[in-house]
Amino acid sequence: MNTPMKVRPYQLACLICRAGRGERKDDPIGEIGRLIREDPDRPLTLVANIGDAYAWQDPGHAEDTPEGADFNRKRDLDMLHRLDLAPGATLPARVLVKRLMMRMPTARGVCGYERVTGPAWRGCANAFSGDYERGVADDGASLVPPRAKEEMRAEKECSIAALERAHTVRIRPHILLCAICQYANGVRPPFAEDNLPEFLGMVLQGREFKVELVPQADWDMCAPCPSRVPGTNGCVTGRLQCAATYNEMKDLEVLQALGLTYGTVMAARAIFKLILERIPEARGSCALTKVDVPEYSVWRDACSTAAGPTGYDRGRAMLWQEFGCEGTP
């Protein structure tokens, strides 16, 4: 387990700014960037000189930039304000980087000011260079690089070969609903980003799989996904790459609706039938709608914003009789 690394908010902005001008320095800020690239899921604790009830986390002024203590204090607090986070907040590096770019698309007004009121408020010389904005336009790829396409293609080939031999398939619960949604939207094999269409297609063709319900993005279904973190079964889908929060909630909502638990093993056709009968719509299960959250929340999932009937709702009707459900959907 990684020990959280303390960083000043401005240091993350500096890393994005440097990325925008293609620069990597061998200095304390550059070292933070190296550690993030090495492990984008490294926990970062944001610290700032605020005192008062947050004095316990004050970092002191050793890492202040030459613009001065008051400018540094205000810049850090301006960024925390935009992030809607308190000093001492700890999140995975990738989530903080994405959230910062969403909430602070420009360095203007934070790292430098249109109107300079005095020597202490000149701000950073790069604030109006456009470097930070270019780093944002790159979506932080230099800090949190995307998964290699060659690796995903190899994982797709290997995992499909394993699926063709399998008797029991490990799947996180809520993506069984994703398979139904994909089916309704016309997604058929081959599909590059996961193995759900292949799996559902085999089930519909009569393969007698068993399904084991497991937590996280297991290799059986998620091996080729661009949002899977190899070696950890982690899932970093979504605009903020924070699916580790809301996907776990989706899985538990589905398990509760089905009356099952992690570790349950059932015939694939039986579990699809149970899903169709007990989960009439996506909302409230694989679409989290119980609580309204802002777009920058770690709980914001794209499925919750869909208007009208979802793919799951249509797929349920399409597959109702196929899985032996009685009555009408």
What pLDDT shows up at residue 17? 96
Q: What is the mean pLDDT of residues 65-74?
A: 96
pLDDT in tens, 194-211: 999 999 999 999 999 999
Cα–Cα distance between 90 and 222 in angstroms, integer? 27
Examine residue 58 and state whether it is found in any structural domain, yes or no.
Answer: yes
Residue 293 pLDDT > 80, yes or no? yes
Q: Which residue has the tokens 């790292």?
A: 111
Residues 244, 121 share a domain: no
**Last-in-domain residue among 116, 137, 158:** 137
Residues 213, 64 share a domain: no
pLDDT in tens, 146-184: 999 999 999 999 999 999 999 999 999 999 999 999 999
Q: Which domain holds residue 23?
A: 5-137
What tokens appear for 82 in the block? Answer: 């935009």
What are the distances in angstroms from CA 125 to CA 79, 133, 179, 237? 18, 14, 51, 35
Residues 214, 109 share a domain: no
25 with 50: CB under 8 angstroms?
no
What are the distances in angstroms from CA 208 to CA 151, 199, 201, 221, 228? 30, 11, 12, 17, 27
Cα–Cα distance between 34 and 42 in angstroms, integer? 11
Three-state SS across 231-284? CCCEECCCCCCCHHHHHHHHHHHHHHHHCCCCCCEEEHHHHHHHHHHHCCCCEC
Examine residue 44 and state whether it is found in any structural domain, yes or no.
Answer: yes
Q: What is the mean pLDDT of residues 15-29?
A: 93
